[in-house]
Chain A
Amino acid sequence: MANTSPWNKTLAKQGWYKRNEIAITPWLFLLPALIMFAIYVVFPILQSFRISLFKWDGLGSLATHGEYVGMANYEKLLTRDRSFNISIWNNLKWLIFYLASIPAGLFIALFLNQTVRGIRLYKSLFFFPFVISQIVVGLVFTWFYDPQFGLFNGIIGFIGFEPINVLGDPSLATYGVIAAGLWPQTAYCMILYLTGLNSVDPEQIEAARLDGAKGMRMLWHVILPQLRPATFIAFVVTIIGSLRSFDLISIMTNGGPFGSSRVLSFYMFEKSLSEYGFKMGYGAAIAVILFLIMMVFIGYFLWRMYQDEKITN
Chain B
Amino acid sequence: MRYLLKATVASIATAIALAGPASAELTGNLKINLDTSNPAPRATMETLIAKFQAENPELNITTNVIDREAYKTQIRNFLSADAPDVLTWYAANRMKPYVEAGLLEDVSDMWADGTDIANELASTKGALTIDGKQWGVPYTYYQWGIYYRKDIYQELGLSEPANFDDMLSNCEAMIASGRKCYTIGNKWLWTGAGWFDYLNLRTNGFDFHMQMAAGEIEWTDSRVRETFDNWGKLIRMGAFIDDNQNKDWQQSLPFMIDGSAGAILMGNFAVSPLREGGLTDDQLDFHQFPAITPGIAMAEDAPTDTFHIAANAKNKDNARAFLAYIVSSEAQTEMNNGANLGQLPVNSKASVDDDKFLNKGFEMLSSNSQGGVAQFFDRDFPAEMAQAAMEGFQEFMVYPDNLDDILERIEGVRKEAY
A residues neighboring B (CB under 8 Å): 57-60, 65, 80, 82, 147-148, 165, 167-168, 253-254, 256-259, 270, 273-279
Q: Is B107 an interface residue (CB 8 A)?
A: no
| 13 residue pairs from A and B, CB less than 8 Å apart | A59-B98, A59-B103, A60-B103, A165-B243, A167-B246, A253-B246, A258-B392, A259-B391, A273-B76, A275-B383, A276-B383, A276-B384, A276-B386
A256 touches B97 (CB 8 A): no
Instruction: Give min CB distance, B368 to chain A, whole Å.
Output: 32
Q: Which residues of B contact A82 (CB under 8 A)?
A: 409
A147 touches B98 (CB 8 A): no
Q: Which residues of B contact A256 (CB under 8 A)?
A: 187, 245-246, 391, 394
Q: Which residues of A contact B409 (CB under 8 A)?
A: 82
Instruction: Give min CB distance, B130 to chain A, whole Å.
Output: 14
B246 touches A257 (CB 8 A): yes
Chain A's closest residue to B385 (CB) is: A276
Instruction: Give min CB distance, A113 to chain B, whole Å.
Output: 40
Instruction: Give min CB distance, A40 to chain B, whole Å.
Output: 18
A277 touches B246 (CB 8 A): no
A257 touches B394 (CB 8 A): yes
Q: Which residues of A contact B80 (CB under 8 A)?
A: 59
Q: Which residues of B contact A254 (CB under 8 A)?
A: 187-188
B103 touches A258 (CB 8 A): no
Q: Which of A59, A259, A275 has the most CB of B within 10 A?
A: A275
A277 touches B391 (CB 8 A): no
Chain A's closest residue to B412 (CB) is: A80
B102 touches A276 (CB 8 A): no
Q: Which residues of A contact B395 (CB under 8 A)?
A: 257-258
The 8 A-B pairs of least Cβ separation, nearest first, read A59-B101, A276-B387, A258-B395, A60-B101, A276-B383, A257-B245, A275-B72, A168-B246
State which residues 365-411 of B face A: CB under 8 Å: 378, 383-384, 386-387, 391-392, 394-395, 398, 409
Q: Is B177 an interface residue (CB 8 A)?
A: no
Q: Which residues of A contact B245 (CB under 8 A)?
A: 168, 256-258
Instruction: Give min CB distance, A219 to chain B, whole Å.
Output: 42
Docked Cα-Cα span, A65 to B99, in Å, equals: 13
Docked Cα-Cα span, A273 to B102, in Å, equals: 18
Docked Cα-Cα span, A257 to B409, in Å, equals: 16
Q: Which residues of A contact B222 (CB under 8 A)?
A: none
Docked Cα-Cα span, A80 to B97, in Å, equals: 26
Q: Which of A57, A148, A165, A276 has the most CB of B within 10 A?
A: A276
Q: Is B73 an interface residue (CB 8 A)?
A: yes
Chain B's closest residue to A279 (CB) is: B384
A60 touches B102 (CB 8 A): yes
Q: Which residues of A contact B242 (CB under 8 A)?
A: 147, 165
Chain B's closest residue to A260 (CB) is: B395
A168 touches B243 (CB 8 A): yes
State which residues 91-147 of B face A: CB under 8 Å: 97-98, 100-103
